[in-house]
Homo-oligomer: A and B are copies of this chain.
Amino acid sequence: MDMYVSGIGMTPFGNHPDHTIKSLLMDACVEAIHDANQPKIDAVIVGNFMGGSVYNQEILGAIAANDLGLGPIPTLKVEGACASGGIALRQAVLGILSGEYETVLVAGVEKMKHISTSEVTNAINAAMDNESNEKHAGLTFPGFFGVLANRYFYETGATKEHLAMVALKNREHAMQNPLAQFTNPATLEEILEAKMITDPLGLFDCSPTSDGAAAVVISRKPSDVRIAASTQASGVTQMQMADDLLSLEAVRESGQLAYEKAGLGPEDVDVIEIHDCFSMTEIISSEELGFFNKGEGYIAVEQGRTKATGDVPINTSGGLLSRGHPIGATGIAQIYQLVLQLRGQAPNQVSGAKIALAQNLGGTGSYSVVHILERVG
């Protein structure tokens, strides 16, 4: 059964002290519904991670349906750490495949900027297993991906400069994106000299905390962007469970499944959004998704191949690093950017883009969701 993205909406990402979690959610939903020409909506699925813990607000599904006047339709929230948005979209795809729905509104939202950094860190740590000795020993997500970076350096010969090149590239992309959180220029030197977060990851290597929302309407009714694949896989919930630190099994598995479903390979993809929660993650995941050989992703970065102007354009939105990372919204914001690309209306437009891939990660590689979109209009 074919299905399509018929509408998209997104708030600016960043600091929104004058917005509530509900007003952000509503803004993105209203825009997506208008963009889809106000179809009848059969269900609402919301991706959100920390609404309950830091904003005392759950039932976002019912709130959206009520306040948008959509009637007594099924609604829910889904959670899968930082992959909550991508998982929400995949649940909508399954709902349509099931025959229960024709058209589904999918939204992602997060409000994180009203709390302190330590409160954010604590809330995000809910994406680790409480019973792991790693969490109790003080491991955080920057720590986890910092360990991966050091191992990557050891095995491949990559250096901090390669990570900085990823951060700089994504910043330069974000400068063209009016919805991005960080649009001020940066230099390689500034990035390399920035405050260390966890060795070797500096400030620019880490995605920020962000407020924001994004929404899409998907439907069986034909429109110009077809969903060619929607896949998901799981990986380890603790670092010590990994056979190989540099293998993000869920990313590889969800990518392979997506290529099979879509009947194409990484060489067919024109534009890509990868979950760059850290600069290191973008490189490893670009390898796991088959765009580069294992251990060679950093070389592609050095050669400029992953820039919007390169042959494997990654994170033309600015990515999590510079577009921003309101957790539940991220997976949907990736789709927003890729639909703009396929419509020929994107910041950092890739000329003639026809096939696009989004990959959304949760936890220590615990969740990965891949969507492949195809321009058919």
Q: Please give the residue numbers on chain A whose beta carbons come within 8 Å of chain B beta carbons, in ascending order.
A: 20-22, 49-53, 55-59, 61-63, 65-67, 71-81, 87, 90-91, 93-95, 97-100, 122-123, 125-131, 232-238, 241, 249-250, 253, 362-363, 366-367
Decide if A75 touches B126 in the complex (CB within 8 Å): no
Decide if A22 touches B129 in the complex (CB within 8 Å): yes
Cα A235 to Cα B74 in complex, Å, equals: 10
Q: Give every chain B residue within 8 A of A363 (Cβ-Cβ).
A: 59, 62
Are A75 and B80 also in contact (CB < 8 A) when A100-B97, A125-B56, A237-B63 are? Answer: yes
* Contact partner, A366, options B62, B97, B129, B235, Cβ 8 Å: B62
Decide if A78 touches B81 in the complex (CB within 8 Å): no
Question: Least Cβ distance of A37 to chain B in Å?
Answer: 23
Cα A62 to Cα B234 in complex, Å, equals: 6
Decide if A59 touches B80 in the complex (CB within 8 Å): yes
* Contact partner, A20, options B59, B130, B241, Cβ 8 Å: B130
* Contact partner, A66, options B50, B61, B125, B234, Cβ 8 Å: B234
Are A76 and B75 also in contact (CB < 8 A) when A20-B130, A52-B53, A130-B56 are? Answer: no
Decide if B75 touches A367 in the complex (CB within 8 Å): yes
Cα A129 to Cα B51 in complex, Å, equals: 12
Q: Give every chain B residue within 8 A of A235 (Cβ-Cβ).
A: 62, 72
Q: Give every chain B residue within 8 A of A22 (Cβ-Cβ).
A: 129-131
Decide if A72 touches B241 in the complex (CB within 8 Å): no
Taking A52-B79, A59-B128 as known contacts, 5 extra A-B pairs with beta carbons closer than 8 A to each other, sorted by chain A number, are A61-B80, A62-B80, A62-B237, A72-B249, A94-B95
Question: Least Cβ distance of A18 to chain B in Å?
Answer: 14
Cα A128 to Cα B60 in complex, Å, equals: 10
Question: Least Cβ distance of A367 to chain B in Å?
Answer: 6
Cα A233 to Cα B78 in complex, Å, equals: 17
Cα A47 to Cα B349 in complex, Å, equals: 40
Cα A128 to Cα B363 in complex, Å, equals: 28
Cα A48 to Cα B57 in complex, Å, equals: 14
Are A367 and B241 also in contact (CB < 8 A) when A56-B122, A253-B72 are? Answer: no
Question: Least Cβ distance of A257 to chain B in Å?
Answer: 10
Cα A148 to Cα B65 in complex, Å, equals: 23
Most chain B beta-carbon neighbours within 10 Å: one of A20, A59, A129: A59
A-B contact pairs, 14 of them (CB 8 A): A21-B130, A50-B52, A52-B53, A59-B362, A61-B80, A61-B367, A62-B234, A62-B363, A65-B234, A72-B253, A75-B80, A94-B98, A94-B100, A97-B100
Question: Least Cβ distance of A277 to chain B in Å?
Answer: 15
Question: Least Cβ distance of A292 to chain B in Å?
Answer: 22
Q: Give every chain B residue within 8 A of A74 (Cβ-Cβ).
A: 90, 232-234
Cα A366 to Cα B76 in complex, Å, equals: 10
Decide if B78 touches A78 in the complex (CB within 8 Å): yes
* Contact partner, A72, options B131, B233, B362, Cβ 8 Å: B233
Q: Give every chain B residue within 8 A of A65 (Cβ-Cβ).
A: 234
Most chain B beta-carbon neighbours within 10 Å: one of A49, A100, A125: A100
Cα A79 to Cα B237 in complex, Å, equals: 21
